[in-house]
Amino acid sequence: MATSQKVSAAHQRLFDRFLEERGDKPFRRQDIADVLYPHLRPRTMGAACNLADVFLRQLKSANRLTKAGHVHWQLIVPTERTLKGGRQVQEHADAKDLTLTTRCPEKWACIDLETGEVWGGSDRGWLKASDVVCREAAAVLRTRVDQLKGTGA
């Protein structure tokens, strides 16, 4: 295992997405390295494996990982997640698809209530929202909150 490796925010997002898609299904260190490999500069499998080791060590130290065979690992998935507002929501065993069909994708924004990430629609799918989209979404949410205050909800 690597002793030290710099973890960029982009690599962390890739790893988080990998875990989100995997859920509680077993995986190998190589599966993580395969996800990271195309996004490393210089692109070497050794560096991808070292970075995968860093991520595995972080999960093990947080008691979120267990052995699931000779080379397989399994994420210890909590049954509930805590959102930014403190509300608890159930986590499902399988990943769920949330689809949206529109002829104007740029008018849509999506907020991850657990991490606070904001995504904006584009003709290429969901992308990290620009500052402009974040400001527009915040204005819409402020209006909605003001409406809720007026109704006593």
The answer as to whether 83 is a domain residue is no
Query: Does residue 140 lie within any of the structural domains?
Result: yes
**pLDDT tens, position by position, 30-46:** 999 999 999 999 899 99
List all residues 6 or more positions away from 7 whose beta carbon is below 8 Å from its beta carbon. Answer: 51, 54, 55
Question: Kindly report the CA angle at 117 between 111 and 120, in degrees rounded to 5?
Answer: 60
- DSSP H or E stretch at residue 88: strand 88-90
Q: Let me know whether 66 and 103 are in one domain.
A: no
Question: The pTM is what?
Answer: 0.56
pLDDT tens digits, 120-153:
999 999 999 999 999 999 999 999 999 999 887 6
**pLDDT tens by residue, 61-114:** 988 898 888 889 988 877 888 999 999 998 877 788 999 999 999 999 999 999
Are 18 and 66 found together in one domain?
A: yes
- The DSSP bridge partners found for residue 127 are 120
**Parent domain of 14:** 9-75
Q: How many domains does the chain have?
A: 2
Residue 57 lies in a domain: yes
